Amino acid sequence: MFETILVPVDLTEKNVMAVRQARELVSEPGEVVLLHVIEELQDVAFEELETFYRRLEERANRELSKLAASLAGIDAEVRKEVVYGKRAREIVRFAEERSVDLVVLGSHTIDPEVPGEGWATLSYQVAILARCAVLLVK
């Protein structure tokens, strides 16, 4: 079992399986952190799009609350976090700074007929760069 589990989410249905796995793997008492990273547009000042970013953040918080509700009943703290930046970098940084034991994130299968495609996805980047254990859920 893992004491602190980070579940990066992109607010799509594919995250449901990762959240379920975190529920099964978190030690009680422990902590599950649901993290959403909002990527800022390059070469555009944050202030120019601040209203747009705030709407994204509000939506992210609503969706994170729904995912957090699916963890009701576990004897572990559930936290929701929204950060800004490059997704892989922020996920790895967050995991390192918070001494996360396990990162659980949704992934996809690689087509054996075209094995070179799909290696540069977010899930694989995090799996390679993170210093803690990573579980890819397909």
| Cβ atoms of 134 and 121 closer than 8 Å | no
The CA dihedral of 6, 10, 11, 14, to the nearest 10 degrees, is -80
Structure-block tokens of residue 78: 């559930």
Architecture label for domain 2-137: 3-Layer(aba) Sandwich (3.40)
pLDDT of residue 118: 63
pLDDT of residue 14: 83
pLDDT of residue 13: 86
pTM for this entry: 0.92
Q: Interior CA angle at 35 toward 63 and 102, to 5°?
A: 130
Query: Mind listing the pLDDT tens digit for each residue in 48-82?
Result: 999 999 999 999 999 999 999 999 999 999 999 99
Q: Which CA distances in Å does 127 have to 42, 76, 99, 133? A: 25, 24, 16, 8
